[in-house]
Amino acid sequence: MEGRFTSIVPIRWNDGRGEIVWLDNTQIPWKELYNSTKDLDRLIKAIQALEIRGAPILGEAGAYGTAMIANNTAGTPDQILKNIDKMGKRLAEARPTAVNLSWGVHKVQEAVKAAVERGESSDAIKELAVSTAKRVQEDNIAATHRIGEAGKHLVHDGDVLVTVCNAGTLACDGIGTSTAPLRAAWADGIRFKTLVAYTAPLYQGARLTAWELHKDGIPVNVITDNMAGHLMHEERATAVWAGADRILCNKSDESGTVYNKIGTYGLALMANSLRQEGTDVKMYVAAPTSTIDTKGTVADVRIEQRKPYEVEYLFNGTRIVPEGVGVLNPAFDRTPPNLVSAIVTELGVAEFPYDRSLKGFIEQSAMHAKK
Ligand code: MRU
């Protein structure tokens, strides 16, 4: 499995130039364009424009961005610490919903803080910041492979699997999160087909997931979002596979609440409705434990509201909504835990009720370890 499905490098640190390089997600599938920067404003712009996107990659961007701030600071260890605190906050707030972005920033901040307390030199601290960010990326990649192994038994011959948004390599590195069990099962010879939901308004499903799975030779049928109910019924869908931007694990009755790309909640409701009619359609969520939020509650989580033009205009620039008409554009939605059949993490599969199982994973999670 290692080495398969992994030719895409969504983000990396260029040691020679001291800059971040990323594959621009807004250009896929038309162009494989790599952009780079040493500048925090440019990085934030890339995150907000979704050149860099998807929860785990945002974690890597947060970590590399914080290392970049450290490397850009000419000064004492205390000045580096001050800069990564102040500018790291701006970076962590570039997008509000995926918890991984601030998680990645904090990983490097914590490492730098400990090095400053140990009395290390500025040069040593800068090197440590970069090596910590690289470790965040390595851990992310390893987690995707473990998610694949943990979840592949949930994928069976003849399955019809619905996907939403893109929780593949472009969003998560490695073999993706919700794509990981699919890829691992495919590598083991399990054969299934996919219904890949468009995921309007930015078409991460049609553009990105279809591109990735097609490259792998996995059968893809792209569907528009409003075809989902009809086709899940007619094509006898067996499961929906979604990623997550944040999974709550704080108040016990909210544990297992999943924030993910807009449309996920609708698919969960459809799967639930089909189950009640007697067709067993599972609603699976796959994410690394870095996506689990142990502090937030439903009342705290901010769902990003994006600019109206994403809904008003097609990708080719044609306006499709009449001038003067109101538009809503929430980027994410919230799926309550009782609609989620299982949550696949790098530490295993959690099932409803999620409080105890997710808390158990947090205790074991290297991603949540203090050092
Ligand atoms: O707005 P995006 O493209 O960053 O949203 C990404 C998603 O919602 C993904 O499904 C999610 O991050 C889970 S896996 C990366």
Q: What is the pLDDT of residues 180-205, one digit of tens each?
A: 999 999 999 999 999 999 999 999 99
Is 370 in a helix, a strand, or coil? coil
Q: What is the mean pLDDT of the chain?
A: 96
pLDDT at 3: 47
Atom of ligand 1 nearest to the CA of 260: 8
Sheet holding 239-242, edge to edge: 220-223, 193-197, 160-163, 239-242, 282-286, 342-345, 348-351
Atom of ligand 1 nearest to the CA of 172: 15
Per-residue pLDDT of 312-336, as tens digits, reads 999 889 999 999 999 999 999 999 9
Alpha helices in 194-320 (DSSP H): 210-216, 228-234, 264-276, 309-312
pLDDT in tens, the chain (371 residues): 444 555 789 999 999 999 999 999 999 999 999 999 999 999 999 999 999 999 999 999 999 999 999 999 999 999 999 999 999 999 999 999 989 999 999 999 999 999 999 999 999 999 999 999 999 999 999 999 999 999 999 999 999 999 999 999 999 999 999 999 999 999 999 999 999 999 999 999 999 999 999 999 999 999 999 999 999 999 999 999 999 999 999 999 999 999 999 999 999 999 999 999 999 999 999 999 999 999 999 999 999 999 999 999 998 899 999 999 999 999 999 999 999 999 999 999 999 999 999 999 999 998 888 65
pLDDT at 4: 52
Model confidence, pTM: 0.96
Long-range pairs of 215-221 with CB within 8 A, sequence gap ≥ 24: 215/7, 216/5, 216/183, 216/186, 218/182, 218/183, 218/186, 218/194, 219/192, 219/193, 219/194, 220/194, 220/196, 221/193, 221/194, 221/195, 221/196
Select which of 245, 253, 280, 355 is catalytic. 245
State yes or no: is 245 an active-site residue: yes
pLDDT at 367: 86
Q: How far is the CA of 166 from the centre of ligand 1 (A)?
A: 6
- CA 330 – CA 263 distance, rounded (Å): 10
Closest by CA position to 8, among listed 64, 55, 57: 57
Distances in whole angstroms, Cα of residue 334 to Cα of each of 77, 138, 264, 311: 41, 29, 8, 20
pLDDT at 7: 76
Per-residue pLDDT of 74-98, as tens digits, reads 999 999 999 999 999 999 999 999 8
pLDDT at 2: 47
Domains of the chain: 11-145 (1.20.120.420), 150-370 (3.40.50.10470)
Distances in whole angstroms, Cα of residue 347 to Cα of each of 116, 187, 254, 256, 369: 32, 21, 21, 15, 14
What one-letter code names the amino acid at 5?
F
Contact present, 58 and 98 (Cβ < 8 Å): yes
- Residues touching ligand 1 (Cβ under 6 Å) are 50, 53-56, 98, 165, 167, 171-172, 177, 204, 243-245, 260-261, 331
